[in-house]
Structure 1
Amino acid sequence: MLPLVLIDSPCVFRRIALDALDAEGRAWRPSFQTTTVASLRAALRAGLGITARTIEMLTPGLKVVDKEMGLPGLPSISYRLYTRNGDDSKGTRKLAELFSAR
C-alpha cells in the first residue's frame, strides 16, 4: 500500500491525488495527516510517505517521484490572484510579483 502524507480536507491536492490513485485502483493508506504545509514537509523529510503538491514546494531534501514508482500523471494546476477594483496596496503588489515570478 502506498503511504500518503496528506493535508486534511478540504485540499485540492489531496482530492486530485486520491482521485488519480482510485481511478487506477492503486491501494493507498494515509500515513500522516496534518493541517499545515510545514508539518507536511517535515513528514516527507522523515520518510513517512509521499504527497501531491506543486513543484514550488520542492525544497532541499525532497524529490519528485512519479514514473519511478509507477504513479499516475496528475493534471496541471494554475493559480489566479483576484483583487478588488482599485486595490494597489503594498501587500497586493508583492503577492502579484511572487505569482508572476513563477
Structure 2
Amino acid sequence: SRLGLCPLAWIAHPDLDIRALLVSGEPLPLVMFDSPCLMRSRAIACLDAAGIPWQVVFVSHSLSGIWAAVQAGLGLTIRTRIGMPGNLRPAGGLLPAPGSLAVSLRQTPREESHSAAVALLGELMTEALQGWLDR
C-alpha cells in the first residue's frame, strides 16, 4: 500500500553558488550514486529537459559518501530531506522541481499471516514519514 509521497529536493552546501554556475553556463557539478539510481535518473532528466548542462563530479556507493561530498562543496545532489545534514540546504528555486518519491509497503501472499504486523509497520512508517515532512 502507498504510505505517502516524499518530496525530492536539490541539496547543496550553502557556499555553492548555483546562480553563478547557471549564469556562467558552466555544468552543474553533481554528486550521485552510480547507475542505476532512481534519483540520479531523475536529476539528469530534470536538467536535460531544462537545457541545463551538468557533470557528475563525484560518485559514491554510500549515502554517507554522498553527504560528505556535498558537505565538502564538491557539488549538489538530489535526495529527500530525510537525514539531510544540518549544514546543507535545499537548493531549489533556480532549478527544475524534481518531483516526489512514492513510499510504499508491499506484502507478499506468503506474509498474509503477518498482516497485523505489516499493518503496524505501515502505520509506524507513515507516522515517521509525516514527522519528517512536517519539519
* TM-score computed with the length of structure 2 as normaliser: 0.65
Greater C-alpha Rg: 2
Deviation at 1:93, TM superposition (A): 7.3
Matched pairs, number:
99
* Aligned match of 2:105: 81
Cα distance between partner residues in 1 of 2:85 and 2:116:
30
- The answer as to 2:83 corresponding to 1:66 is no
User: What is the DSSP-based 3-state SS (H/G/I as helix, E as strand, rest coil) of the residue aligned with 1:29?
Assistant: strand
Cα distance between partner residues in 1 of 2:35 and 2:96:
21
Deviation at 1:60, TM superposition (A): 1.1
The CA deviation string for residues 4-58 of structure 1, in whole angstroms up to 9 with x for no partner, is 0001111111111100000111000011011111111111111110001112132
Distance 1:4 1:94, change over 3 A: farther
Q: Which among 14, 28, 35 is matched to residue 9 of structure 1?
A: 35
Structure 2: runs of 5 or more not aligned: 1-26, 130-135
Distance 1:89 1:36, change over 3 A: farther
Deviation at 1:77, TM superposition (A): 1.3
Structure 1: runs of 5 or more not aligned: none
Distance 1:2 1:94, change over 3 A: farther
Structure 1 runs of 4+ off > 3 angstroms? Answer: 92-96
User: What is the DSSP-based 3-state SS (H/G/I as helix, E as strand, rest coil) of the residue aligned with 1:26?
Assistant: coil
Task: Choose between structure 1 and 2 for higher RCO, CA contacts under 8 A separated by at least 6 residues.
Answer: 2
Cα distance between partner residues in 2 of 1:61 and 1:89:
40
How large is the Cα RMSD of the aligned pairs? 2.1
* % identity of equivalent residues: 32
Cα distance between partner residues in 2 of 1:94 and 1:56:
21
* TM-score computed with the length of structure 1 as normaliser: 0.84
More strand by share: 2
* Aligned match of 1:55: 81
